[in-house]
């Protein structure tokens, strides 16, 4: 679809409110919002009566085409489009050497610059727009020279991890924080204490505790809080913007709350994921679902899930993401030992309707608040001022959402490569009707209607977190 389009008679939802009106699209941009009678005659009129017209969702935490997923950019972005997600940010991983990687030595493992180039080369079939985070996994001082070039290339957020295998020490992390603070870039951190988690995992392995109920016990909530406390304190001391990824527990969230109260949200922000509010560790007691629910960090208690939703509602947690990663059911169930099962869950296609059901249909959040945490906030936090909004002049990334349509999640409908879903069999009220990326209709009533390759790589700005 090209030229001029008016989406009329819908409930237009922005981050600040909602009203009955229309959206006028021209030349890939939102030209105006308001009364369609005042718009010039366009080539196409879409009647959205009874439906919501929202900004396309922005997911800043996605894994495609690497060792953490079997999805290609085409399959993963198709799932995103069907789920109302018009922009995602993937990860380019500096190579590391352990039992999970294909590289035989540190010399063979790709540099950060090579990882970025590889990701871009794999994205020719992407349907929606995308950006990249750069992930530092080795303590090599040459990475600082690479980071200068990567930041200049519009990759303005750098991920670090504290876990075994891909994690780095606090000392090296402190150096990265200081470097990023000087540049105004964002540091993202996956926090779990490697010593405690490693010790518990080895202990349970020695004791033959293969049942999945021991998986969350091997990575308890206090290890997430411990590592978060260390990381956020280092970031604050350096003046670096700190973004906590996939917050899973009240203890970890409380660390972030304390830091925000002392130092303000200009330096400390965080996300959680849909599955951490929807599911709990009880899933690990279900023989069939347990391996499918292996996610790192693990699912937590009912109290944690409730606390996370409360923190999203109050704005302590700014973003709801997916941490999408696809595997086959065969891969997830090939071992009876929980430690041999790959972690990850495919969520791009269902995150919006699931969170809508969980937060809005329950009466706990408004549609504008949903737009804040799934579109506006992630766009602002990661330097994408053209995304996550219906402001005239921004990209015409739009989702038309039917709040009353009921459907049952069936993995046979997955666009992602995974042949299962944690949400299998869930009856949801609220479904994506149409998805537009820069004015182009890419998904319509559960079908991909655009040609692969419509999506663009997004060079991102250094963000201002004072909002």
- 74-120 residue pLDDT tens: 999 999 999 999 999 999 999 987 777 777 777 788 899 999 999 99
Q: State the DSSP string of 199-235.
A: HHHHHHHHTT--STTHHHHHS-HHHHHHHHHHHHHHH
Q: Report the pLDDT value the prediction gives residue 1, as an integer from 0 to 100.
A: 46
In 81-204, the DSSP E strands lie at: 85-93, 129-135, 157-161, 186-190
Helix or strand (DSSP H, E) at 269: strand 268-273
Q: How far apart are CA 116 and CA 261, in angstroms?
A: 36
Q: How far apart are CA 377 and CA 381, in angstroms?
A: 6
| Mean of all residue pLDDT scores within the chain | 96
Check whether 255 has a pLDDT greater than 60. Answer: yes
Q: Which CATH number among 3.40.50.300, 3.20.20.140, 3.40.50.2300, 3.50.50.60 corresponds to the domain 57-381?
A: 3.20.20.140
Spans of all domains in the chain = 4-54+391-448, 57-381
Residue 186's pLDDT is: 98
The token pair that represents 360 in the structure block = 């809005």
Q: Which CATH superfamily is domain 4-54+391-448 in?
A: Urease, subunit C, domain 1 (2.30.40.10)
- pLDDT of 2: 55
Tell whether the model's pLDDT for residue 41 goes beyond 70.
no
CB contact set of 208 (below 8 Å; sequence gap of 6+):
none
Give percent of the chain with pLDDT exceeding 90: 93
* Burial class for 308, CB neighbours closer than 10 Å (0-12, 13-18, 19+): buried
CA 467 – CA 386 distance, rounded (Å): 16
Tell me what pLDDT residue 158 has.
98
Q: Over 90: is that where the pLDDT of 42 sits?
A: no
Within a 13 Å sphere around the CA of 306, how many CA atoms are in the beta-carbon half?
3
What local confidence, expressed as pLDDT, does residue 56 receive? 98
pTM of the model: 0.97
Let me know if the fold of 4-54+391-448 is the same as that of 57-381.
no
Whether the Cβ atoms of residue 22 and residue 8 lie closer than 8 Å to each other: yes
- What pLDDT sits at residue 82? 98
Q: How far apart are CA 380 and CA 36, in angstroms?
A: 28
The span from the CA of 350 to the CA of 80, in Å, is: 9
């Amino acid at each position: 679809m090209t030229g001029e389009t008016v989406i009329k008679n819908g409930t237009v939802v922005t981050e600040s409110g909602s009203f009955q009106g229309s959206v006028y699209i021209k030349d890939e941009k939102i030209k105006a919002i308001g009364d369609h009678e005042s718009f010039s005659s366009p080539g196409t009129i879409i009647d959205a009566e009874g439906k919501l017209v929202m900004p396309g969702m922005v997911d800043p935490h996605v894994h495609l085409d690497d060792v953490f997923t079997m999805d290609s950019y085409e399959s993963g972005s198709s799932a995103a489009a069907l789920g109302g997600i018009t922009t995602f940010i993937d990860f380019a991983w500096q190579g590391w050497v352990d039992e999970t990687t294909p590289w035989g030595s540190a010399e063979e493992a790709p540099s950060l610059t090579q990882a970025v180039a590889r990701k871009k080369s794999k994205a020719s079939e992407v349907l929606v727009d995308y950006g990249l985070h750069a992930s530092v996994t080795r303590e090599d001082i040459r990475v600082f020279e690479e980071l200068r070039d990567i930041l200049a290339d519009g990759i303005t957020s750098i991920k670090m991890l504290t876990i075994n295998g891909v994690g780095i020490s606090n000392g090296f992390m402190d150096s990265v924080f200081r470097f990023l603070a000087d540049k105004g870039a964002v540091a993202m951190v996956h926090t779990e204490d490697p010593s405690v988690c490693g010790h518990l995992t080895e202990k349970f392995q020695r004791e033959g505790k293969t049942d999945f109920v021991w998986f969350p016990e091997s990575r308890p909530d206090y290890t997430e809080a411990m590592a978060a406390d260390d990381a956020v304190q280092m970031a604050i001391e350096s003046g670096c913007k700190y973004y906590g990824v996939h917050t899973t527990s009240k203890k970890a969230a409380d660390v972030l709350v304390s830091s925000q109260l002392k130092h303000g949200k200009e330096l400390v922000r965080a996300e959680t994921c849909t599955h951490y509010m929807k599911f709990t560790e009880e899933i690990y007691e279900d023989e069939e679902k347990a391996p499918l629910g292996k996610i790192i960090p693990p699912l937590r208690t009912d109290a944690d899930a409730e606390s996370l939703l409360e923190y999203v509602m109050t704005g302590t947690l700014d973003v709801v993401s997916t941490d999408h990663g696809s595997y086959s059911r065969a891969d997830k169930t090939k071992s009876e030992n929980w430690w041999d099962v790959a972690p990850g869950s495919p969520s791009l296609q269902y995150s919006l309707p699931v969170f809508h059901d969980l937060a809005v249909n329950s009466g706990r959040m408004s549609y504008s608040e949903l737009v804040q945490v799934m579109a506006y906030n992630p766009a602002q936090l990661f330097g994408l001022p053209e995304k996550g909004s219906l402001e005239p002049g921004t990209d015409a990334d739009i989702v038309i959402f039917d709040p009353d349509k009921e459907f049952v999640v069936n993995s046979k409908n997955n666009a992602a490569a995974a042949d299962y879903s944690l949400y299998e069999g869930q009856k949801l009220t609220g479904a994506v009707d149409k998805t537009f990326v820069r004015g182009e209709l890419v998904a319509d009533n559960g079908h991909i209607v655009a040609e692969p390759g419509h999506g663009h790589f997004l060079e991102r700005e250094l963000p201002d977190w004072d909002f």
